[in-house]
């Protein structure tokens, strides 16, 4: 597996295991949520500095972003679509 694929797989796996949304990870690392999604889809390529910030936000050492998945491992599931808190409805008169 190539480095970009390893990073994508591990970021998503660790993030989902910890119940962290893309929005929360983006806020913690100071990047856009769409960039986190791009990393996980392998359409973005992160710098070493950004990988360090992501690893710190996820509470892991940077090398864990490059760990090979076990043979036969499936792609990590995403969190539920209910990632945004519901707003209270306005009272109508």
- 82 occurs within a structural domain: no
Position 92 in a domain: no
Report if residue 33 sits inside a domain: yes
Task: Name the pTM for this structure.
Answer: 0.77
Give the CATH number of the domain where residue 46 resides. 1.10.260.40
Range of the domain at 7: 3-64
Residue 12 lies in a domain: yes
From first to last of its 93 residues, what are the pLDDT tens digits of the chain? 799 999 999 999 999 999 999 999 999 999 999 999 999 999 999 999 999 999 999 999 999 999 998 887 767 666 665 554 444 556 665
Q: Would residue 85 count as lying in a domain?
A: no
Number of structural domains the chain divides into: 1
The full length of the chain comes to 93
Please say whether the dihedral angle defined by the alpha carbons of residues 66, 10, 5 and 23, taken in this order, is positive or negative: negative
As a whole number of angstroms, the distance between CA 27 and CA 77 comes to 21
């Amino acid at each position: 597996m190539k480095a970009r694929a390893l990073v994508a797989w591990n970021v998503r796996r660790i993030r989902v295991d910890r119940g962290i949304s893309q929005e929360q990870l983006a806020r913690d690392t100071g990047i856009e949520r769409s960039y986190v999604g791009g990393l996980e889809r392998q359409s973005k390529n992160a710098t070493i500095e950004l990988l360090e910030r992501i690893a710190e936000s996820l509470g892991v050492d940077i090398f864990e972003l490059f760990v090979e998945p076990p043979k036969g491992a499936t792609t990590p599931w995403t969190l539920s679509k209910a990632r945004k808190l519901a707003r209270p409805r306005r009272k109508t008169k």
